[in-house]
Amino acid sequence: MITVSVCMIVKNESSVLSRCLDSLRTIWDELIIVDTGSDDDTMDIARRYTDKVYEFKWTGDFSEARNFALSKASCEYIYTADADEILEGENVDMFLALKSCLDEKVDVVQMYYGNQLDQGTVYNFDKELRPKLFKRIRPIVFKDPIHETLDLDPVIIDSDIVITHRPESLHSGRDLNVFKKMISEGQHISKRLEGFLARELYMQGDINELEEFSEYMYSVTADTGRTSEEVIEACTILARYHRLKGDAVGMFNNVVKVMAGECNSEICCELGAYYMSQNNYDDAAIWYYNAWHEVTPILSIHAGSDIPLNALADIYDIIGESKLASEYRGMAKEGS
């Protein structure tokens, strides 16, 4: 049977840490918890479960903190966990079975990260495979200051184990602060992280946050080294920013840039919202219908499902078509 070090980085997780650790207590041979600056009783809770609790001064880089935690591990394999995760029911049994029979040639085991859509996160899928268990003896490090990922080329297997993601609060402000730091320091934001930033801003950013990132988004649209996908994402964010700002010219300038390539559900929703603000319900309905039925979303699956469907229901309520409104609201509920 392999031995497993559970490694965690935490900050102000007192409301969820015990729940997480209670769900994991049978799978670890060693528990390592690195605190990055809690001002609640997170560290006191952590010490009830392990004497391997460390402090790490927060640098604005999740990979640095994660790598520090890995450096403290001594078991054959490392399992990385977040405080808002839970391993439940048969998944605990499957993990224990995996420990007893894992082939030593395997470097990384991927597990499903579940319950995404129910939590309002920036992901567009309810579960995805993520590298969660890996050999300690490999030269393993994480890369990227946020939404960190493993930097290696290992032998990987996929398991059926599902880790339930159940946060009690969202971390959009925290994540956006890391992006701000990267931009202020002149760091290049990779295509992968560019997608995270765009989704974060579209799904959770308010007008002030959109304004803070507008200059950067314009720099993306002017960067000839960026892919067309990145430029379209940036223009979509800028269209939303200018629409919320009340700047129709700025909004349409970015809408046209997107439509020069391929339209998306988010742009159609922005146009629908604009025409709704003008009390132009016919055009608003056309664009919300297009968002739902004719094109696909690029940043949020909700832009192609419940958002336009609920908007269509609102429109038909306004114009007195209650039957249609009820039908669209029902479809929105089914698809949300």
* CATH at 311: 1.25.40.10
pLDDT of residue 256: 97
Whether residue 198 is found in the same domain as residue 147: no
Q: With cut-offs at 50, 70 and 90, classify the pLDDT of residue 202.
A: very high
Whether residue 114 is found in the same domain as residue 179: no
- Average pLDDT for 60-88: 94
Last residue of some domain: 149, 165, 181? 165
Residue 191 CA, chain-centre distance (Å), reads: 15
Average pLDDT, the chain: 91
- Average pLDDT for 16-29: 97
Structure tokens at 58: 């927060």
pLDDT of residue 297: 95
Q: Contact 223/253 with Cβ under 8 angstroms? A: no
Structure tokens at 249: 């010219």
Last residue of some domain: 125, 143, 165? 165
pLDDT of residue 117: 55
Whether residue 279 is found in the same domain as residue 219: yes
* Residue 119 in this model has a pLDDT that exceeds 60: no
Whether residue 109 is found in the same domain as residue 257: no
* Residue 268 in this model has a pLDDT that exceeds 60: yes
- Average pLDDT for 274-285: 97
Whether residue 100 is found in the same domain as residue 186: no
Structural domain total, the chain:
2
More confident residue, 222 or 142: 222
Phi, psi dihedral angles at 170 (to 5 degrees): -90, 155
- Average pLDDT for 312-332: 95
Contacts of 159 (CB under 8 A, 6+ apart): 94, 98, 109, 110, 111, 112
CATH number reported for the structural domain that contains residue 66 in this entry = 3.90.550.10
Whether residue 129 is found in the same domain as residue 253: no
Whether residue 88 is found in the same domain as residue 189: no
Contacts of 75 (CB under 8 A, 6+ apart): 2, 3, 4, 5, 29, 30, 136
Last residue of some domain: 133, 165, 197? 165
* Residue 115 in this model has a pLDDT that exceeds 80: no
- Based on the number of CB atoms within 10 Å of its own CB, is 314 exposed (0-12), middle (13-18) or buried (19 or more)? middle
pLDDT of residue 118: 53
- Average pLDDT for 178-182: 92
Q: What's the pTM?
A: 0.70
Whether residue 212 is found in the same domain as residue 311: yes
Whether residue 145 is found in the same domain as residue 190: no
Domain of 229? Answer: 172-335
